[in-house]
Amino acid sequence: MPDRPSQASVAGPGASEGGDPDPWRRLAEATSAMEFCAAWLEIQAGRLGGVAAGAVFLRRLGGASPVAAAVWPPGLDDPDRFRPVVTRAIREERGVVVRSDAEREAASPEDPTLRLAFPVRVRDRIASVAAFEIAPRPQDQLAEALRQLQWGVAWLQNWELQEQTGGGRAVHDRLAAALEITAAALEEGGFRTAATALATELATRLECDRVSVGFVRGSKVQVRALSHSAQFGKQMNLIRSIGLAMAESVEQRAVLGYPEREDSRFVLQAHEQLARAHGDRAILTVPFLTREGKGIGALTLERCAPEPFDDETVQLCDAVASLAGPVLDEKRQNDRLLITKASVAAWVQVRRLLGPRHTVRKLVVLLAITLSVFFAVFRTEFRVTAKTTLQGQVQRVVAAPFAGFLAEAPARGGDIVRRGELMAQIDDRDLQLEFSRWSHEREQYSLEQRRAMADRDSALTKVLTKRINQAEAQLALLEQEIARTRILAPFDGLVVSGDLSQQLGAPLETGQVLFEVAPLDAYRLVLEVDESDIDHVRPGLRGELILTSILGEKLPFTVTKITPIAATEGGKSYFRVEAELDQASSRLRPGMEGFGKIQVDRRLLIWIWTRPLWDWLRLWTWSWLP
């Protein structure tokens, strides 16, 4: 049984060659699927009653769609009317009833005409479907008709089992021959040589004068290879005629044979012209079909013989076309130039985009276009982001005035001190003793001076006066040193560093740094701007600062100074940029860190997002240029 409708194999349900009008006798003596199905249709039509038309559709492995094997009454010219109900029966795997004017369940006995379809399951697959068009009837009679049809399809099921069992060897031999012929094409590397090898192998095995291979190109079918011929450019009229014959088969998606039989329902005009123009001959054209049933090419066989190709040859060629068609099509596509592949792929995507279905693809493309337009016109503020540290405007160092020992240190880093507040105390006991000694000597010199003045000893009086002045000078110096032992805060501020609470009694050196104090009302910002962004920064630009410890508050600032010396930290280079806060806050403390954004100008959003990538690409490209 053929896999596709063909002029050589599809016959109507007429009488057998003996002309026996008894359908039961024809059913028992049937030698082909067409004879058996025609007789079975006639019997079932009589049993169902009120049947307007009927058909049996066969399904074959590799077939694109069910094939009408027989119709009733004889000469029915429109078996495709049953395809909707047949397709539904196959999909639902059960008997179905639909209206003749709409694909929905019959609603009432008054509906115009009903179509019944029942699938025939053989070995876990639906092998055929029986369909009838009947007059409307009540629901109970309709159910009885379905039961009658269900009982009747058992004959078809039994015939299918017999055919599969008895024809298994022939199918095996046919598939083996098809594989051998296809292997001849697979052995070749390129498309043209593979197509020529396939055509030559078929011509040799089937004793054909010429075998042609063609593929669809645009709206026509172009002959791409001939048997026993690598060049055929000079045979333009012949090639054109063969291409038209192939186009007939591809358009009708059917196996076409010439000479045509009386029961043929296919158009064979191009085949007839080819046969008459190039000598009376038998022609067979088998289309290459995809899984979706789309025709992509065809195989045309020609030989000088008055009789058409037999069914066995048709089935073999059909099997070869099913196997070799996708192989040749893949080789043909792979042999194209890269630019051709790209253009074809692009055109396919465009057709899918502009054609029906593919809703998700259309939505994605629409979204991409919307985003592209948005990014092409939308501008926003371009800002340079940098790590920022808050520092005091003035930072005073509090150092040890002279060498000594630490006696007291009430202040430590982080404390807020007021002007004149004690921060540390140096031990002054030695100075106090020295002060007492000089005080005693001054008193002694004063007593001696009074005695010398009483004795009117002017020389001794002058000497004692000098000693008294020396003692007073020493006392004044000691007073100053004793006052300096109290280290006081120079102004109101924050102790940035210094903690001497664990070093009481430790010796101090002259000039040793004890504390660092910064004011609380004057700050400056230090921004570490990356070297790739420094070109966009200039004094006078404004920005905003967010500190890590004060996330909910944005502090405006103004850039004041750019230090033209780069520093390196963590493998990255940056420039030091100073800025001033427009308004200080009581919550600020020196040493706080955060991030500052310097507002440069307004630019395209897509430029802002892709700027680092383009900068890297430009630098990388330049590094590789000679």
CB 254 within 8 A of CB 268: no
Q: Are residues 598 and 507 in the same domain?
A: no
Q: Are residues 186 and 331 in the same domain?
A: yes
pLDDT of residue 102: 52
Using CA atoms, how far apart are residues 83 and 88, in angstroms rounded to an integer? 8
pTM of the complete model: 0.43
Asked whether residue 382 is domain-assigned, the answer is no
Q: Which of 502, 492, 498 is nearest to 416 (CA)?
A: 492
Asked whether residue 406 is domain-assigned, the answer is yes
Q: Rounded mean pLDDT of 587-594?
A: 84
Q: Report the CATH number that the domain containing residue 602 is assigned in CATH.
A: 2.40.30.170
Q: Are residues 278 and 403 in the same domain?
A: no
For residue 126, is pLDDT > 90? Answer: no
Would you place residue 103 in the very low, low, confident or very high pLDDT band (cuts 50, 70, 90)?
Answer: very low
Q: Considering Cα of 386, then 391, then 394, then 395, what sign does the dihedral take?
A: negative
Q: Rounded mean pLDDT of 406-420?
A: 80
Identity of the residue numbered 99: R
Q: Are residues 322 and 231 in the same domain?
A: yes
**Residue bearing the bigger pLDDT, 551 or 414:** 551
Instruction: Give counts: helices (H), strands (E), the chain.
Output: 14, 24
Q: Are residues 227 and 365 in the same domain?
A: no
Please tell me whether residue 21 adopts helix, strand or coil conformation: coil
Dihedral in degrees, nearest 10, Cα atoms 202, 164, 43, 10 = -10
pLDDT in tens, 252-307: 888 898 887 655 678 888 888 888 877 767 899 999 988 777 888 999 999 887 78
Q: How far is CA 617 from CA 393, 535, 574, 608, 614, in A?
A: 41, 18, 21, 15, 5
Q: Report the CATH number that the domain containing residue 402 is assigned in CATH.
A: 2.40.50.100
Look up tokens 């009074």; give the residue.
Answer: 450
Q: Are residues 117 and 245 in the same domain?
A: no
Q: Report the CATH number that the domain containing residue 101 is assigned in CATH.
A: 3.30.450.40
pLDDT of residue 393: 74
Asked whether residue 344 is domain-assigned, the answer is yes
Name the range with the highest mean pLDDT among 131-135, 141-145, 397-401, 413-417. 131-135
Using CA atoms, how far apart are residues 37 and 26, in angstroms rounded to an integer? 10
| Number of domains observed in the structure of the chain | 5
Q: Are residues 587 and 620 in the same domain?
A: yes
pLDDT of residue 584: 75
For residue 10, is pLDDT > 70? Answer: no
For residue 111, is pLDDT > 70? Answer: no
Q: Rounded mean pLDDT of 577-585?
A: 86
Q: Are residues 110 and 175 in the same domain?
A: no
pLDDT of residue 300: 92
Domain boundary among 335, 358, 389: 335
Summary mean pLDDT of the chain: 82
Q: Are residues 500 and 546 in the same domain?
A: no
Q: Rounded mean pLDDT of 62-85?
A: 78
Within 8 A by CB and 6+ apart from 595, the residues are 385, 386, 387, 388, 545, 546
Asked whether residue 556 is domain-assigned, the answer is yes
For residue 27, is pLDDT > 70? Answer: yes
Using CA atoms, how far apart are residues 542 and 558, in angstroms rounded to an integer? 4
Asked whether residue 384 is domain-assigned, the answer is no
Domain boundary among 151, 166, 181: 166
Q: Are residues 188 and 231 in the same domain?
A: yes
Q: How far is CA 420 from CA 282, 508, 522, in A?
A: 123, 21, 19
Label each residue of 179-244 as H, E or C.
Answer: HHHHHHHHCCCCHHHHHHHHHHHHHHHHCCCEEEEEEEECCEEEEEEECCECCCCCCHHHHHHHHH
The token duo for 439 is 């005080």
Would you place residue 4 in the very low, low, confident or very high pLDDT band (cuts 50, 70, 90)?
Answer: very low
pLDDT in tens, 287-296: 998 877 788 8
The token duo for 508 is 């101090």
Q: Which of 316, 324, 312 is nearest to 288 (CA)?
A: 324
Q: Rounded mean pLDDT of 555-560?
A: 92
- Domain containing 437: what range? 397-516
Please tell me whether residue 353 adopts helix, strand or coil conformation: helix
Q: Are residues 304 and 353 in the same domain?
A: no
Q: Which of 1-10, 133-142, 587-596 has the lowest mean pLDDT?
A: 1-10
CB 413 within 8 A of CB 498: yes
Q: How far is CA 61 from CA 3, 197, 310, in A?
A: 7, 26, 21
Using CA atoms, how far apart are residues 107 and 84, in angstroms rounded to an integer? 18
Using CA atoms, how far apart are residues 84 and 504, in angstroms rounded to an integer? 103
Q: Are residues 282 and 260 in the same domain?
A: yes
Label each residue of 469-508 as H, E or C.
Answer: HHHHHHHHHHHHHHHHCEEECCCCEEEEECECCCCCCCEE
pLDDT of residue 150: 81
pLDDT of residue 399: 82
Domain boundary among 134, 166, 198: 166
Asked whether residue 2 is domain-assigned, the answer is no
Asked whether residue 18 is domain-assigned, the answer is no
User: Do you find a cis peptide bond into 539, omega within 30 degrees of 0?
Assistant: no
Would you place residue 110 in the very low, low, confident or very high pLDDT band (cuts 50, 70, 90)?
Answer: very low
